[in-house]
């Protein structure tokens, strides 16, 4: 009985919301499912049917981070449908970027090399590394553009600390999901099969049920000791 009580107390001490990841907001991600976001190279999603134009000479890449600290790497691949990490790792745009705080981060990327020209198709990959969930991945399929007006209305500061509501209008115009809409949906995510899940709500419900079970168990134990 004592061992069971200790185990229940330990479980009850766990945080209610155990899921926390990151989202690629700009340019629009191929898709997001936190259950498979650890699947390289693109978080479990294949190439998008359509590509967004992206100003490659100073291209903004914005993410929403849900961890206090993380390391970010950004790569580009010119394969039509890259399916392995090696398709990306030879073309690094940013590596070992240490970020702090939960919120939005934007990184400017100047893509160099003979393949980086107007009209070229490419896939951008963000690798997000945390001590909690290890390596997570998100991709965006884009077409390089030399039209710098694509960045109008976008603030991209290469800051290493989080910002709130950085480019909400631009993210929404591109069909992406902002951190505000993510929180208002209580982390409901749409999986690749089209079903939805609410991982944070589930964790909170589990935590509440566990506390009720703990209370009942402790009460029964006390009653047993009183009878003895």
pLDDT confidence bin for 175, thresholds 50/70/90: confident
Q: Provide the edge-to-edge strand list for the sheet that holds 22-26.
A: 22-26, 59-65, 103-109
Report whether 94 contacts 80 (CB < 8 A): no
pLDDT confidence bin for 20, thresholds 50/70/90: low
The whole-model pTM stands at 0.73
The mean pLDDT value of the chain amounts to 79
pLDDT, residue 162, reads 94
Report whether 73 contacts 97 (CB < 8 A): yes
Backbone angles phi, psi at 175, to 5 degrees: 85, 10
Of 3.40.30, 1.10.3470, 2.70.50, 3.30.530, the CATH number of 22-186 is 2.70.50
pLDDT confidence bin for 188, thresholds 50/70/90: very low
In the DSSP assignment, the letter for residue 112 is -
pLDDT one-digit tens code per residue, 24-52: 999 999 999 999 999 999 999 999 999 99
What is the 3-state secondary structure of 13-79?
Answer: CCCCCCCCCEEEEECCCCCCCCCCCCCCCCCCCCCCCCCEEEECCCEEEEEEECCCEEEEEEEEECC
Position 153 pLDDT exceeds 80: yes
Residues of the chain with CATH 2.70.50: 22-186
Report whether 115 contacts 78 (CB < 8 A): yes
């Amino acid at each position: 009985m004592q061992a069971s009580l200790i185990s229940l107390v330990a479980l009850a001490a766990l945080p209610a919301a155990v899921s926390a990841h990151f989202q690629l907001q700009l340019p629009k991600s191929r898709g997001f499912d936190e259950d498979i976001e650890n699947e390289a190279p693109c978080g479990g999603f294949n190439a998008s049917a359509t590509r967004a134009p992206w100003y490659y000479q100073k291209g903004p890449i914005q993410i929403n981070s849900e961890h206090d600290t993380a390391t970010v790497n950004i790569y580009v691949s010119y394969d039509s449908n890259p399916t392995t990490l090696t398709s990306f790792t030879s073309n690094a745009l940013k590596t070992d970027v240490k970020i702090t705080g939960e919120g939005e981060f934007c990184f400017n990327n100047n893509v160099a090399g003979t393949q980086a020209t107007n009209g070229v198709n490419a896939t951008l990959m963000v690798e997000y590394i945390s001590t909690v969930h290890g390596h997570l991945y998100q991709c965006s399929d884009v077409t390089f553009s030399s039209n710098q007006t694509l960045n109008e209305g976008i603030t991209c500061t290469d800051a290493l600390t989080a910002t709130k509501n950085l480019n909400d209008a631009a993210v929404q115009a591109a069909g992406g999901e902002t951190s505000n809409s993510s929180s208002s949906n209580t982390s409901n995510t749409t999986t690749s099969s089209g079903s939805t899940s609410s991982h944070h709500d589930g964790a909170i419900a589990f935590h509440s049920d566990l506390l009720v079970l703990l209370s009942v168990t402790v009460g029964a134990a006390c009653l047993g000791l009183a009878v003895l």
